[in-house]
Amino acid sequence: MFGRERTRIPDEKRPLRMAFFASSMALVLATGWALWDEGKTRRPWVEYQHQFNRLEQQMVEQALAAGEAKYQSPETQAKVRGLEAALAKAEEAIQGSEYARLKAELAALERQQADKAQQIQFIKSELDEQRYRVEHAQFVCQEQEEHKARQAGKDPGAPEVRKAVEACRDATVKSAEYQALVAREKALEQRIQAQEPELARLEKAVEEKQAALKRLSEAATKLRDQLAELRAPITLLQRRLEGIRARAPEIQQVVIGGLAVNEFRQPILTVDRCTTCHLGIDRVGFENAPQPFRTHPHREAFFGKHPVSRFGCTACHQGQGSALTVLEGHSSHELGEKLQADVREGLRKRIHWERPMFHGEMVQASCQVCHAAQSFVPMAPVLSEGKQLVAQLGCFGCHNLRGFEKAEKVGPSLLRIRSKADPAWMVRWIQNPRGYLPITKMPNFHLSEDEAIAVAAYLLKNSEPEEPYPTAYQPGSAERGRELVSRVGCLGCHQIREMESLKKGTTVLPTAPTESGRPGDDKEKDKAADQAAEAKPAAAEGQEPKPAKRGEVKEEAPPAYPGAGEVYVGGPTFGPDLSQMASKGNAEWLYRWLKDPKRYRPKTNMPNLRLGDQEARDIATYLMTLGRRQEPPGLAAELQQEARVKAGEALIRKRGCFGCHEIKGFETAEKIAPDLTDFGVKRVDRLFFGEAVEVRQTWEDFVFWKLKNPQIYQTALAPQIMPNFGLTEEQIKAIRVFLKSQVDVPVPRAFERRLTDMEVAVQEGRRILQKYNCTGCHVIEAKGGDVATFYEAPQVAPPPLVAGHLQEGEKVQATWLYEWLARPTSLRPWLKVRMPTFPVTIDEATTLSKYFSALAGKGFPYEFVRVEEYSPELVEAGRKLASKDYFDCFSCHVQGSKLPEGPPEGWAPDLSLARRRLRPEWIVKWLRDPQKIQPGAKMPSFFPGGPDDILGGNEEQQLIALRDYIMSLGER
């Protein structure tokens, strides 16, 4: 009751003005806010576009000012005034009396011409009429006669009717009437002919007048064009400026078709909107503009084959292509310094983006997607180095890695190790490989001495005996052996420290690493500890400073090695350093090995040097003088213990030694380490950082520190068994890029970089060159040939093959090269250095032959087939030219069994081999200018300077004659 009393006014009549007002105000405000938010907060790119427009406008205005200044400069102005004056004159001429007179004359002439033409036209129609009459007169005969015949009931085609027609026609033609008609026709034709020259004259006169008028007006047009041209750059810029001013903010996007696929592997369209803010990315002139407007730093190199319109941005850079804010677009925690701190902080928290952007060299990981077939991607050097390192180090022995599914184990077989290696050496080696070889790809497993003994015990126990060589080792002359090693070519692949002094003009290598137990060892250890301390996050270059590190990690840090990080295989470090051979091997094994490497290890890369028994004995004797054997007492007995062997087996199984080496009993063992085929997209929360709080929690940091110190994430419960490869930071970063590329991204064939036959030949050829270290002795593609430093002159060292104008593939016949590689014979048998027989397969020999042809731009297979016989005259002229009276070629060149005079150092290759070996056109090129092809060659140039009395002094003919003569030498 009371309640009702208090609100006497009924609800529907209560005034709601205030409520309406308040809510409508709220609505207005909300609308205002919504509009503002739409324009400002939600579209940050609009502001970027305004900025860019201002930037571009400034640039254009500057250019415009410069253009205007140039236009206003006295020289240009003088030109302008000159042109204007000329134009005024030309225009005056058009206005003037001369022009008018010409025009009037033209009009008159045109009228005359028209009259004349009409006259002729009239006569012509009269003539046509006349012609009709003449023809009709004859036709009438036929009509009449046939009509008559039909009326008489006769066949109109009958001969007598034809005859009657003919008779009628004759009569008609003879009639005076007809003759008059014909005469009139002739008269008319003559009249036309008489008129025509006059018409032609008039036409010509008209044309002349027209041309004169045109000349006058054209002069003016040309001047106007010239004036406009002077002004053109300014006009262009002005138009551009107008364009910029008229620009409305707009989302820029690239729709990419067919590069991405969905879960069902069907191509889908994706969209990249990066260019909405990165407006200058594909435009010249913004190289120094602030981000996000800068031109792509490698625009010219990349965009040619990877246009933005086809590939977009995120195919390489990752990130979210469709996003329109800085944060979402980059979706990464490592933005450039210039980005505001708060944005960076915001990004840092978002480490769980699916496709965070790649930065710096990491972008190269994307190249692998389409370029997987290329072992070397020219524009991705870091990725390429990573691939190379993985291939050399054999990471795939323990981890599954994409692209290395069929790779062979990188270490030597240990199936017959007992007859090769000294047991005490094995223990030392297993414990610390770099104690013996400063440069080796064998990593350090941080085994204790006990563990190393156990592994050695297993390997020795499970080693098969080696079959003896037909001839036996006997001690030889170390001195002769040393001479042989220094000359025959061993130093192309192996280093021997005491031989370094034989190099001409080169310094001795840094001191040899001391093997354990020798003086100076402690010092090394101290140094190692110092370096190990550096292997901590804080020392990393290019990484942000880390929080204080913990002490215990420091103690567990791995030792660093002298020569750490040098795993590159090539040049004299390709094969093992032999400086301490005696501590490792034995003479009997060395002898067998030198005589026939392939027999004792079928998969070896070591070539056969075709050494005589005595030579091999001498070399083995010499090598055993290097270093000394160390036999700790009691070791032999230790190695026999069954418990040791058992422990060794367990260790080998745990540490995965069989990933790189063939070991008896582990033929079917599985890879021991995690599969890395999808490691590139492994999420940070799935990575185990252990207690290493000093390492930043990112994928990049995880990988870096794991490779730098494989035990860094070790805890009591989670041992980390990966060995230490002693990599440099550069190498780690390269491998890291390769690991980032380990993702499952299917690529449509249209985007796949497939190699042409020639590219495959080059790539495969390079791989084989590396496999056998050809560049240890030869300069190929301007690299290698270091062994030459041991020889006093280039003529007695292995020859360069591909450098500058020298192209082996252009020089020799492909078939010859192929056959020769499989079974080389010395081309300069008098030299001490010799081309060894490499264990190349038929495929490898073919590929190498193809490789050299491809480098020289020659097709393959190239067959030299000379159908026609050599002309006897030319061969005879060539023989004369080569004789003692002229070029005296055999003063230096061997010819079959005929040897030149003098010491062998002065000899040159056997010319009777040329027929099967050299390409004829190369002989001409070589003779024309040997120094151009091989600077410093001993072969002097004979041309220009050919004799006058052979082939009439025609040098081109003389070159051909020499070629044909040389090609005619030797057995058929």
Partner 1 sequence: MKVVWTISAIMGLILGSMSLALAQDTGSLSGRITFAGDPPAKKKLDITKDKEVCGTVEHFDESLVVGSDKGVANVVVTVLGAKGGKFASQKVELDQKGCRYTPHVVVVPTTGQLDILNSDGILHNIHTYSTANPSINKAQPKFKKVLTEKFGKPEIIKTSCDAHAWMTAWIVATDHPFVGVTDEKGNFTIKDVPPGTYKVEIWHETLGKQVKDVSVKAKEGAKLTVELAKK
Among 58, 125, 309, 891, binds partner 1 (CB under 8 A): 891
597 conformational bin, left if phi > 0, alpha if psi -120 to 50, beta if neither: alpha
**Closer to partner 1 by Cβ: residue 371 or 880:** 880
Shortest distance in whole angstroms from residue 792 CB to partner 1: 12
Nearer to partner 1, 177 or 948 (CB): 948
The reply on whether position 642 binds partner 1 by CB under 8 A is no
Residue choice 885, 897, 971, 972 for contact with partner 1 (CB under 8 A): 885
Nearer to partner 1, 552 or 885 (CB): 885
- In the bound state with partner 1, the residue whose beta carbon lies nearer, of 393 and 933, is 933
CB closer to partner 1, 337 vs 948:
948
157 vs 903 by CB, closer to partner 1: 903
Establish if 76 lies at the interface with partner 1 (CB under 8 A): no
Q: Is 297 in the site for partner 1 (CB under 8 A)?
A: no
| 12 vs 901, beta carbon nearer partner 1 | 901
Nearest to partner 1 of 728, 931 (CB atom)? 931
Rounded Cα distance between 569 and 389, Å, is: 10
Q: Using CB under 8 A, pick the residue from 938, 955, 957, 970 that binds partner 1.
A: 938
Q: How far is the CB of 932 from partner 1 (least distance, A)?
A: 11
User: Which one among 379, 947, 954, 955 touches partner 1, defined by CB under 8 A?
Assistant: 947
899 touches partner 1 by CB under 8 A: no
Task: For the CB of residue 880, give the shortest distance to partner 1 in the complex, in Å.
Answer: 11
Among 892, 924, 955, 970, binds partner 1 (CB under 8 A): 892
Is 952 near partner 1 (CB under 8 A)? no
φ, ψ of residue 358 in degrees (nearest 5): -90, 145
Distance from C-alpha of 882 to C-alpha of 353, rounded to nearest angstrom: 77
For partner 1, give the closer residue by CB, 824 or 947: 947
Distance CA(855)–CA(774), nearest Å, equals 16
Rounded Cα–Cα distance for residues 162 and 535 (Å): 124
- How many residues touch partner 1 under the rule CB under 8 A: the total is 25
Candidates 29, 902, 953, 956: give the one binding partner 1 (CB under 8 A): 902
Q: Which of 197, 634, 746, 945 binds partner 1 (CB under 8 A)?
A: 945
Q: Min. distance of Cβ 942 from partner 1 in angstroms?
A: 5
From the list 92, 155, 526, 888, which residue makes contact with partner 1 (rule: CB under 8 A)?
Answer: 888
Per CB under 8 A, contacts with partner 1 among 393-422 are none
One DSSP character per residue, 151-200 reads: HTT--TTSHHHHHHHHHHHHHHHHSHHHHHHHHHHHHHHHHHHHHHHHHH
Instruction: Kindly give, in sequence order, each residue whose CB lies less than 8 Å from that of residue 188, ignoring residues fewer than 6 positions away.
Output: 123, 126, 127, 130
Rounded CA separation 157/150 (Å) = 10
Q: Is 633:517 a contact under the CB 8 Å cutoff?
A: no
Q: From 357-365, 651-659, 828-836, 896-904, give the range in contact with partner 1 by CB under 8 A.
A: 896-904
Q: Should residue 901 be labelled a site residue for partner 1 when binding is judged by CB under 8 A?
A: yes
By C-beta, is 551 or 940 nearer to partner 1?
A: 940
For residue 92, give the amino acid letter: E
Binding span for partner 1 by CB under 8 A among 389-397, 558-566, 586-594, 894-902: 894-902
Query: By CB under 8 A, is residue 939 in contact with partner 1?
Result: yes
Q: Name the token pair of 601.
A: 């290890």
H or E segment to which residue 779 belongs: strand 779-780
Instruction: Report the distance separating Cα 933 and Cα 746, nearest Å.
Output: 47
Axis crossing angle, helix 74-95 with helix 176-246, rounded to the nearest 10: 150
Residue 940 sits in the site that holds partner 1 (CB under 8 A)? yes
Dihedral sign of CA atoms 489, 493, 495, 496 in order: negative
At residue 748's C-alpha, the angle toward residues 747 and 751, to 5°, is 85
Closer residue to partner 1 in complex, CB, 642/885: 885
Figure out which of the listed residues 238, 941, 954, 957 binds partner 1, where binding follows CB under 8 A.
941
**Whole-number Å distance between alpha carbons of 242 and 841:** 69
Q: 176 CB contacts (<8 Å, ≥6 apart)?
A: none
Nearer to partner 1, 139 or 886 (CB): 886
CB of 805 to partner 1, least distance (A): 15
Question: Which residue shows structure tokens 């093997």?
Answer: 515
Residue of 396, 445, 942, 965 interacting with partner 1 (CB under 8 A): 942
CB of 945 to partner 1, least distance (A): 6
DSSP conformation letters of 245-276: HH-------EEEEEEEE-TTS-EEEEEE-GGG
Instruction: Provide, rounded to whole angstroms, the least separation between the CB of residue 887 and partner 1.
Output: 5
The Cβ-side half-sphere exposure at 562, using a 13 Å CA radius, reads 17
Closest C-alpha to 930, from 939, 922, 921: 939
Q: Toward partner 1, which CB reaches closer, 195 or 795?
A: 795
| Residue 369 token pair | 């997607």
Among residues 656, 657, 658, which one has the least CA distance to residue 673? 656
Closer residue to partner 1, CB minimum distance, 297 or 903: 903
By CB under 8 A, tell whether 728 contacts partner 1. no
Residues 917-936 that bind partner 1 (CB under 8 A): 930-931, 935-936
The least distance separating partner 1 from the CB of residue 891, rounded to whole angstroms, comes to: 5
- The residue range among 35-43, 122-130, 553-561, 879-887 that interacts with partner 1, by the rule CB under 8 A, is 879-887
Rounded to the nearest 5°, which phi and psi values hold at 679? -65, -25
Q: How far is CA 653 from the centre of its chain?
A: 41
State how far the Cα of 943 lies from the Cα of 940, in Å rounded to an integer: 9
Give the residues lining the site for partner 1 (CB under 8 A). 884-888, 891-892, 900-903, 905-906, 930-931, 935-942, 945, 947
